[in-house]
Chains A and B, each alone.
Chain A
Amino acid sequence: MANKSVLFKIKRQASPTSEAHWEEFELAWRPGLNVISLFMEVAINPVTRDGKPTTPINYDSNCLEEVCGSCAMLINGKARMACSALVDNLEQPLTIEPFSKFPVLRDLQVDRTVLFENLKTIKAWVPIDGTYALGDGPRMVPKLQEQAYQLSQCMSCCCCMEACPQFNESTGFVGAATIAQARLFNMHPTGKVLKDERLQALMGDGGIQECGYAQNCVEVCPKDIPLTRSISDVSGDVMKKAILDFFRT
Chain B
Amino acid sequence: MASTTPRIIIVGGGLAGLSAAIKVAEAGANVDLFSLVPVKRSHSVCAQGGINSAKNLKGEGDSTWAHFDDTVYGGDFLANQGPVKQMCEMGPGIIDLLDRMGVPFSRTDEGLLDFRRFGGTLFHRTAFAGATTGQQLLYALDEQVRRFESEGKVRKFEYWEFLSAVLDSQGVCRGICAMDLRSMEVTTFPADAVLIATGGVGAIFGKSTNSVVCTGSAQGSLYQQGAAYGNGEMIQVHPTCIPGEDKLRLMSESARGEGGRVWVPKNPNETRPGKQVPDADRWYFLEDKYPKYGNLVPRDIATREIHEVVYDKGLGIQGQPMVYLDLSHIDRATLDRKLGGILDIYEKFVGDDPHEVPMKIFPGMHYTMGGLWVDADQMTNIKGLYAIGECDYSIHGANRLGANSLLSCIYAGFVAGPNAVKYAKSLAAAPDNLATSFENEKKRQVELNTRLVNNQGTENPFKLWRELGEIMSRNVTVRRYNDRLKETDAKLVELLERYRNVNLSDKSMWSNQSFLFTRQLQNMLQLARVITQGAFLRNESRGSHYKPDFPERDDANFLKTTKAFFAPDVDEPRFEWEPVDFSLIKPRPRRYDTK
Binding site for B on A (CB under 8 A): 14-15, 30, 32-34, 36-37, 40, 43-46, 53-56, 58-70, 83-84, 86, 88-89, 105-106, 109, 112-113, 116, 119-120, 123-128, 130-131, 133-142, 145, 148-149, 152-153, 155-156, 185, 188, 190-191
B510 CB contacts on chain A under 8 angstroms:
14-15, 106
Candidates A46, A86, A89, A188; contact of B102 at CB < 8 Å: A188
Query: Is A149 a contact partner of B130 (Cβ separation < 8 A)?
Result: yes
A-B contact pairs, 20 of them (CB 8 A): A15-B510, A30-B245, A36-B246, A54-B505, A55-B505, A62-B37, A63-B45, A63-B46, A64-B249, A69-B41, A88-B351, A120-B149, A127-B147, A128-B144, A136-B99, A137-B99, A145-B105, A149-B136, A155-B135, A185-B102
Residue of chain A at shortest CB distance from B250: A65
Query: Is A56 a contact partner of B505 (Cβ separation < 8 A)?
Result: yes
B93 CB contacts on chain A under 8 angstroms:
133
Say yes or no: is B375 at the interface (Cβ < 8 Å to chain A). no
How far does the Cβ of A231 sit from chain B's closest Cβ, in whole Å? 20
Query: Is A62 a contact partner of B41 (Cβ separation < 8 A)?
Result: yes
Indicate the member of B104, B129, B510, B514 with the most A CB atoms within 10 Å: B104
Selecting from B107-115, B397-405, B586-594, the interface stretch reads B107-115
A135 CB contacts on chain B under 8 angstroms:
96
Query: Is B132 a contact partner of A67 (Cβ separation < 8 A)?
Result: yes
Query: Is A44 a contact partner of B41 (Cβ separation < 8 A)?
Result: no
Candidates B40, B104, B182; contact of A69 at CB < 8 Å: B40
Query: Is A64 a contact partner of B247 (Cβ separation < 8 A)?
Result: yes
Besides the contacts A68-B42, A155-B41, what 16 more A-B pairs have beta carbons closer than 8 Å? A34-B244, A37-B245, A64-B211, A64-B247, A67-B132, A68-B41, A70-B37, A83-B246, A84-B349, A127-B147, A131-B26, A137-B101, A138-B99, A142-B106, A142-B109, A153-B130
How far does the Cβ of B92 sit from chain A's closest Cβ, in whole Å? 10
How far does the Cβ of B93 sit from chain A's closest Cβ, in whole Å? 5
Say yes or no: is B506 at the interface (Cβ < 8 Å to chain A). yes
Known: A43-B462, A58-B513, A140-B107. A84 touches B348 (CB 8 A): yes
A109 CB contacts on chain B under 8 angstroms:
511
Please measure, in the bound complex, the distance between the C-alpha atom of A135 and the C-alpha atom of B97, giving whole angstroms.
8
Known: A62-B213, A89-B351, A185-B102. A43 touches B97 (CB 8 A): no
Query: Is B107 a contact partner of A141 (Cβ separation < 8 A)?
Result: yes
The tally of CB-CB contacts under 8 A between chains A and B is 196
Please measure, in the bound complex, the distance between the C-alpha atom of A153 and the C-alpha atom of B245, giving whole angstroms.
26
B508 CB contacts on chain A under 8 angstroms:
14, 55
Known: A32-B350, A67-B132. A142 touches B111 (CB 8 A): yes
Please measure, in the bound complex, the distance between the C-alpha atom of A222 and the C-alpha atom of B376, giving whole angstroms.
43
Query: Is B40 a contact partner of A63 (Cβ separation < 8 A)?
Result: no
Quick one: which of B224-240 are within 8 Å of A by CB?
none
Query: Is B107 a contact partner of A156 (Cβ separation < 8 A)?
Result: no
Query: Is A148 a contact partner of B104 (Cβ separation < 8 A)?
Result: yes
Please measure, in the bound complex, the distance between the C-alpha atom of A32 and the C-alpha atom of B317, giving whole angstroms.
14
A106 CB contacts on chain B under 8 angstroms:
510-511
How far does the Cβ of B142 sit from chain A's closest Cβ, in whole Å? 9
Please measure, in the bound complex, the distance between the C-alpha atom of A88 and the C-alpha atom of B245, giving whole angstroms.
13
The 3 closest A-B pairs by CB, nearest first: A137-B99, A37-B245, A55-B506
Query: Is B43 a contact partner of A63 (Cβ separation < 8 A)?
Result: yes
Indicate the member of B96, B108, B211 with the most A CB atoms within 10 Å: B211
Query: Is A152 a contact partner of B146 (Cβ separation < 8 A)?
Result: no
Say yes or no: is B457 at the interface (Cβ < 8 Å to chain A). no
Please measure, in the bound complex, the distance between the C-alpha atom of A134 and the C-alpha atom of B146, giving whole angstroms.
22
Say yes or no: is B292 at the interface (Cβ < 8 Å to chain A). no
Query: Is A61 a contact partner of B97 (Cβ separation < 8 A)?
Result: no
Say yes or no: is B538 at the interface (Cβ < 8 Å to chain A). no
Please measure, in the bound complex, the distance between the C-alpha atom of A141 and the C-alpha atom of B26, giving whole angstroms.
31
Say yes or no: is B22 at the interface (Cβ < 8 Å to chain A). yes
Please measure, in the bound complex, the distance between the C-alpha atom of A142 and the C-alpha atom of B146, giving whole angstroms.
28
Query: Is B514 a contact partner of A43 (Cβ separation < 8 A)?
Result: yes
Query: Is A131 a contact partner of B23 (Cβ separation < 8 A)?
Result: yes
B101 CB contacts on chain A under 8 angstroms:
126, 128, 137
Known: A64-B247, A139-B111. A131 touches B102 (CB 8 A): no
Query: Is A137 a contact partner of B100 (Cβ separation < 8 A)?
Result: yes
Please measure, in the bound complex, the distance between the C-alpha atom of A149 and the C-alpha atom of B100, giving whole angstroms.
15
Please measure, in the bound complex, the distance between the C-alpha atom of A1 and the C-alpha atom of B211, giving whole angstroms.
32
B42 CB contacts on chain A under 8 angstroms:
62, 68
Please measure, in the bound complex, the distance between the C-alpha atom of A177 and the C-alpha atom of B514, giving whole angstroms.
32
Known: A53-B505, A88-B351, A153-B135. A124 touches B146 (CB 8 A): yes
Residue of chain B at shortest CB distance from A83: B246
Query: Is B143 a contact partner of A40 (Cβ separation < 8 A)?
Result: no
A155 CB contacts on chain B under 8 angstroms:
40-41, 45, 135
A153 CB contacts on chain B under 8 angstroms:
130, 132, 135
Please measure, in the bound complex, the distance between the C-alpha atom of A153 and the C-alpha atom of B345, giving whole angstroms.
15
